[in-house]
Chain A
């Protein structure tokens, strides 16, 4: 837990207000909490279990844990961090039970991975070694509709699905769900540096998929 508690300054004022409403039994407050965190929880759960269906069960189970612990939650971490830790622990337990656990080591970035195929740069020894052979395309010139159309989104969905679990989780938490790097580090118990490597590899692979789609 090297990173835990380093950045987390505790529950925010908004969270404390929400907490008071939850404890008073306010259903709307609970619904808003659920819709705020559901997607992120699903992303965390899918790090440790294989299928979306099992991940959904894990999220349900985690919410029961959240409700059980709500009266004892003291606000020393943010409510979000606390919830994400509950879902991570629930998913790990479930993963172990199913003998489908993602070994902890695989949350660490593995091996080397080039963001862009080395063949796209001038070879070592050439006059412009390490420089683009041919510049990447200027996407600013693509018609806006192409960037926004369904097919493009499907390319992104497929590219994210094809990522190794740890990369998929980090890009989903950061770029789909809008979590901060601190929140990712605390939920997954990875260092800032490793979080950035995983994010870099994930974004690079999705970019490459988009490039292939646009360039045909």
Chain B
């Protein structure tokens, strides 16, 4: 993203949104995205949709380990401890 436009349009914002959220944009490019967001409610909604998507995907997190896997791993740990 080396090229610096004077402004970015919506189609460019949707391609930069992950770099923007990951804080991976050059400061000049991040400033262009922010300038755009100050003027465009559509892109504000889009960025919010991406944030909501990330949050919703995060709800799939589950620390549970299948019972049979857990049992056989514990057995392996006990074996290992005895060697």
Contact = CB atoms under 8 A, between A and B. Distances in A.
Contacts of A130: 9-12
B58 to A, nearest CB: 6
> Which interface residue of B17, B42, B74 has the most chain A CB atoms within 10 A?
B42
Interface bracket on A: 35 or more
B69 A59 contact: yes
A39 B40 CA distance: 39
A176 interface: yes
B2 interface: no
A64 interface: yes
B4 interface: no
A114 B60 CA distance: 26
A116 B14 contact: yes
Nearest to A131: B10
B31 interface: no
B64 A35 contact: yes
Nearest to B77: A30
A20 interface: no
Contacts, number: 133
Given A27-B74, A138-B45, A153 B56 contact: yes
A153 B80 CA distance: 39
A83 interface: no
B54 A175 contact: yes
A211 B77 contact: no
Given A60-B72, A156-B56, A121 B77 contact: no
A128 to B, nearest CB: 8
A207 B49 contact: yes
Contacts of A207: 49-50, 53
Given A64-B76, A115-B15, A203-B18, A211 B69 contact: no
A211 B56 CA distance: 13
A143 interface: no
Given A27-B74, A64-B76, A203-B18, A176 B11 contact: no
B63 A36 contact: yes
Interface in A129-165: 129-132, 135-140, 147-148, 152-153, 156-157, 160
